[in-house]
A and B are shown apart, each in its own frame.
Chain A
Amino acid sequence: MTTPAGLPERLTALVRTLRAHGMRIGPAETLDAARVLEILGLADREQVRAGLAAALLHTEGQRAVFDPVFDVYFPLGVGAPESARPAGDAPPGDVRAWLRDRLADALAANDRAALTRLAAEAVDALGQYGNSPATDGWSAHQTLDRLRPETLLARVRTATQGSGGGSGGTGRGGGSGGFTDRLEADEIRRRIEDFRERVRTEARRRVAERRGADQVARRGLAPTADRVDFLVAGRAQLAELRRTVHPLARKLATRLAARRKRAARGHIDLRRTLRGSLSTGGVPIRPVLRRRRPVRPEIVLLCDVSGSVAGFAHFTMLLVQALSDQFSKVRVFAFVNRADEVTRLVTAGTADPEGLSARILREAAVTGWHGSSDYGSALAEFADRHRDAIGPRTSVFVLGDARTNGGDPNLDALRLIRARARRVHWLNPEQPSSWGTGDSAALRYAEVVPMHACRNVQQLSALIARLLPV
């Protein structure tokens, strides 16, 4: 497969790939996109990007999918960059040093055009691997590993300070000694990160040229943050997820409010119906419904905070905490092999979400004699010592992978909890195909309470919008 040459074919291929990534694009949008290309032409690539995005995207969340796919189908250039073709004027052995010198200059001057060019040259010179047409390609990872742009920080700082003109070129003054000097290190770090992204884009483009855009665009993309698997998310990804807690909570709150409204409907408000009927000549066509104030429900979270499921538990705690004004009460319990209440720590955790996990492990009694999970003991302790947390208005959510380390799952304790609560749900961050494998008691627990797969933020928010009582 190769990249289709004609414009309509390119657009169709772009749309096909976006759809393959889960974006819903109808024929009307595709037609709009075609008109956009007709109106804008191809002269200015950033205009084309913005125009197609306007026609094809419906939310900003889709941007993370759209941009890389756009880069593949509407590339900046074709082949090796102009300046790199004759192997430059660099001595052959020292391409890397030569690139680093120029990169340092471009970073110091924040010259974005130069940075884009250098990313292309770097991939061309350092990123190629393999030597048979079937296995070779261009790797961003290899390029960055050889170039090590992050080690340029000190050098770039010396350069910007030496020049006395701040970050040069862009009219930013405030030479040495000024207040803004302290910002410089972070600014340069952001520029370096931005450069790394340019390298990734370029590597994708070169591979696309070789393999056919379709194949690359389908595989080579990182998932959007809300589809990152909780169990494999790294520190940075979890930090990024935490930043979405508040916006997500706001969205969920309106969805819950809508459900509440619907649930509360029923009575006809006679006075308002008659008043409204004046415009229809006194015929009460549109009945006006009266709303009743329902009593808000109570939520209890019971979370496994051990090892790899901790990221999932903490995110969910923060999210439910952010939603707490939707409920009359929210209480949070954590366990590894003992259960303890952490509501207060979670409330305080909104100010310092990164520190939440450490605080729970430090300040709550979640482990007893040993450090590994024991669902049986933890459920028993919760059902016994914290019994009064559960009543007929309480919905209980158990969060965890149900991996008991071979211990007794203690189904009776879960039955006891179920008997006292209004409802119990289990959210499991593992995919259903792993349930019941190895030391997982998921299938046995699933016979007692409904168990839901909850692998990423997307699934979690869908579950919350659906399962949380209103």
Chain B
Amino acid sequence: MTGTGYFTSVDDVFVKLAETGYLASTAVATTVYLADRLGKPLLVEGPAGVGKTELAKSVAPVAGARLIRLQCYEGVDEARALYEWNHAKQLLRITAGRDETWDETRTDIFSEEFLLTRPLLTAIRGGDPKVLLIDETDKADVEVEGLLLEVLSDFQVTVPELGTITATRRPFTVLTSNATRELSEALRRRCLFLHLGFPDEELERRIVRTKVPGLDETLTASVVRVVAALRAMDLRKLPSVAETIDWARTLLALGAATLDDRLVRDTLGVILKHQEDVEKATAGLRLDTL
């Protein structure tokens, strides 16, 4: 068994995540539990703002684990992801030890003291419980995938000067992706796959109630219904949970009691990011445009 063992059952996942404010669907709770039991990385894919990052962040406190985050971007490389030698410090050390032989110096400058550990290495060293979040994996270049593949296969890394470092305790690993780029088949095969879509209305109401508890319950229900209607339209960017929450907060701040044409029209910009979407929604919701 190589599992992380943070949870005792699917229900346990529901309950514990809810305590941190994350409301899981059946699919989410089940997959998190399986990743925990099987010790496999979890690849979470889905549109922006549906709670992919938040999911990983919520597992950490529940498990009493340290959250280690590798934020991917175009150009992220081994030195940022895995480890790097502290060149400046090495040079200082070389200049300081002028009377030593090169052999002595070399053994010294390639030791722990001069090693800068980056998230992937940090995540497999030490025996404390950890959650490794590899966020927005699709933003990284293809080369980095090779590195991830190597690290995530057996949770070990070879540093030429130090030898092979193997995890004594596997981190609970979550990779997120917006699917802007197709991740390689090989990497996908290493992972359990979870597609995180928009929640159903009942779950979304509960999420809004948790995140914006001050908002009237009837208004919360209306907000979620309007968002569902928008998602059924042919828009460029469908509103996500993040937008639903933002809209609910806005309405709360405005002290709104119910929705009306004017209020929806004035706040539509919080939910929709493109002007053409706003126009479509105005027509689709038959908003007065006076």
Which A residues are closer than 8 A to B by beta carbons? 24, 26, 28-29, 32, 35-36, 39-40, 44, 46-47, 50-51, 53-55, 57-60, 63, 166, 170-174, 178-180, 182-183, 186-187, 190, 239, 242-243, 246-247, 250-251, 254-255, 258, 278-281, 351, 354
> Roughly how many angstroms separate A251 CA and B177 CA in the complex, as a whole number?
13
- The answer to whether B185 touches A58, judged by C-beta atoms less than 8 angstroms apart, is yes
Interface residue tally for chain B (C-beta within 8 Å)? 56
The interface residues of chain A lying within 8 Å CB-to-CB of B45 are: 59-60
- The answer to whether B185 touches A170, judged by C-beta atoms less than 8 angstroms apart, is no
Of the candidates A172, A173, A174, A239, the one whose C-beta lies within 8 Å of that of B234 is A239
> Roughly how many angstroms separate A179 CA and B201 CA in the complex, as a whole number?
18
The interface residues of chain A lying within 8 Å CB-to-CB of B181 are: 250-251, 254
> Distance (Å) between the CB of B54 and the closest chain A CB?
19
- Mask for B68-90, Cβ within 8 A of A = 1, else 0? 00000000000000001101001
> Distance (Å) between the CB of A193 and the closest chain B CB?
10
- The answer to whether A54 touches B192, judged by C-beta atoms less than 8 angstroms apart, is yes
Chain A residues touching B, majority SS = helix
Asked whether any CB of chain A lies closer than 8 Å to the CB of B108, the reply is no
- The answer to whether A183 touches B229, judged by C-beta atoms less than 8 angstroms apart, is yes
- Which residues of B222-255 have CB atoms within 8 Å of chain A's CB atoms? 222, 225-226, 228-229, 232, 234, 236
> Distance (Å) between the CB of B234 and the closest chain A CB?
6
- The answer to whether A179 touches B236, judged by C-beta atoms less than 8 angstroms apart, is no
The interface residues of chain B lying within 8 Å CB-to-CB of A178 are: 222, 258-259
> Roughly how many angstroms separate A278 CA and B26 CA in the complex, as a whole number?
50
- The answer to whether B232 touches A186, judged by C-beta atoms less than 8 angstroms apart, is yes
- The answer to whether A63 touches B195, judged by C-beta atoms less than 8 angstroms apart, is yes
Of the candidates A40, A58, A170, A278, the one whose C-beta lies within 8 Å of that of B10 is A40
- The 4 A-B pairs at the shortest CB distance, nearest first, are namely A173-B218, A254-B181, A179-B259, A50-B27
- The answer to whether A28 touches B189, judged by C-beta atoms less than 8 angstroms apart, is yes
> Roughly how many angstroms separate A254 CA and B182 CA in the complex, as a whole number?
8
> Distance (Å) between the CB of B215 and the closest chain A CB?
13
> Roughly how many angstroms separate A29 CA and B188 CA in the complex, as a whole number?
11
The interface residues of chain A lying within 8 Å CB-to-CB of B166 are: none
> Roughly how many angstroms separate A50 CA and B196 CA in the complex, as a whole number?
11
- The answer to whether A251 touches B179, judged by C-beta atoms less than 8 angstroms apart, is yes
The interface residues of chain B lying within 8 Å CB-to-CB of A60 are: 45-46, 195, 197
> Distance (Å) between the CB of A176 and the closest chain B CB?
13
- The answer to whether A179 touches B222, judged by C-beta atoms less than 8 angstroms apart, is yes
- Which residues of B187-210 have CB atoms within 8 Å of chain A's CB atoms? 188-189, 192-195, 197, 201-202, 205
Of the candidates B30, B46, B179, B221, the one whose C-beta lies within 8 Å of that of A171 is B221
Asked whether any CB of chain A lies closer than 8 Å to the CB of B285, the reply is yes
Q: How many A-B residue pairs have CB under 8 A?
A: 133
Nearest A residue to B85, CB-CB: A279
Residue pairs across A and B with Cβ atoms less than 8 A apart, 8 shown, are A39-B34, A54-B42, A58-B185, A60-B197, A187-B228, A190-B232, A251-B182, A278-B90
Asked whether any CB of chain A lies closer than 8 Å to the CB of B165, the reply is no
The interface residues of chain B lying within 8 Å CB-to-CB of A183 are: 225-226, 228-229, 285
> Distance (Å) between the CB of B244 and the closest chain A CB?
15
Of the candidates A26, A59, A186, the one whose C-beta lies within 8 Å of that of B229 is A186
The interface residues of chain A lying within 8 Å CB-to-CB of B85 are: 278-279
> Roughly how many angstroms separate A351 CA and B189 CA in the complex, as a whole number?
38
- The answer to whether B234 touches A180, judged by C-beta atoms less than 8 angstroms apart, is no
- The answer to whether A173 touches B160, judged by C-beta atoms less than 8 angstroms apart, is no
Contact A47/B30 with A58-B189, A180-B226, A187-B229 known, Cβ cut-off 8 Å = yes
> Roughly how many angstroms separate A328 CA and B288 CA in the complex, as a whole number?
42
The interface residues of chain B lying within 8 Å CB-to-CB of A180 are: 222, 225-226, 259
> Distance (Å) between the CB of A444 and the closest chain B CB?
37
Asked whether any CB of chain A lies closer than 8 Å to the CB of B260, the reply is yes
Nearest B residue to A279, CB-CB: B85
> Roughly how many angstroms separate A255 CA and B221 CA in the complex, as a whole number?
42
> Roughly how many angstroms separate A175 CA and B205 CA in the complex, as a whole number?
18
> Distance (Å) between the CB of B248 and the closest chain A CB?
15
The interface residues of chain B lying within 8 Å CB-to-CB of A247 are: 179
The interface residues of chain B lying within 8 Å CB-to-CB of A255 are: 182
Asked whether any CB of chain A lies closer than 8 Å to the CB of B125, the reply is no
> Distance (Å) between the CB of A39 and the closest chain B CB?
5
> Roughly how many angstroms separate A51 CA and B35 CA in the complex, as a whole number?
10
- The answer to whether B30 touches A174, judged by C-beta atoms less than 8 angstroms apart, is no
Asked whether any CB of chain A lies closer than 8 Å to the CB of B286, the reply is yes
Nearest A residue to B43, CB-CB: A58
- The answer to whether A50 touches B218, judged by C-beta atoms less than 8 angstroms apart, is no
Nearest A residue to B27, CB-CB: A50
Nearest B residue to A25, CB-CB: B189
Nearest A residue to B235, CB-CB: A243
- Other A-B contacts than A50-B27, A251-B179, 4 sampled, CB-CB below 8 A, are A173-B221, A174-B221, A186-B229, A187-B229
The interface residues of chain A lying within 8 Å CB-to-CB of B232 are: 186, 190
> Roughly how many angstroms separate A58 CA and B182 CA in the complex, as a whole number?
11
> Roughly how many angstroms separate A186 CA and B42 CA in the complex, as a whole number?
36
Nearest A residue to B286, CB-CB: A182
Contact A172/B286 with A28-B189, A186-B232 known, Cβ cut-off 8 Å = no
The interface residues of chain B lying within 8 Å CB-to-CB of A54 are: 30-31, 34-35, 42, 192-194
The interface residues of chain A lying within 8 Å CB-to-CB of B42 are: 54
> Distance (Å) between the CB of B65 and the closest chain A CB?
21
- The answer to whether B195 touches A39, judged by C-beta atoms less than 8 angstroms apart, is no
Contact A35/B38 with A178-B258, A182-B286, A278-B85 known, Cβ cut-off 8 Å = yes
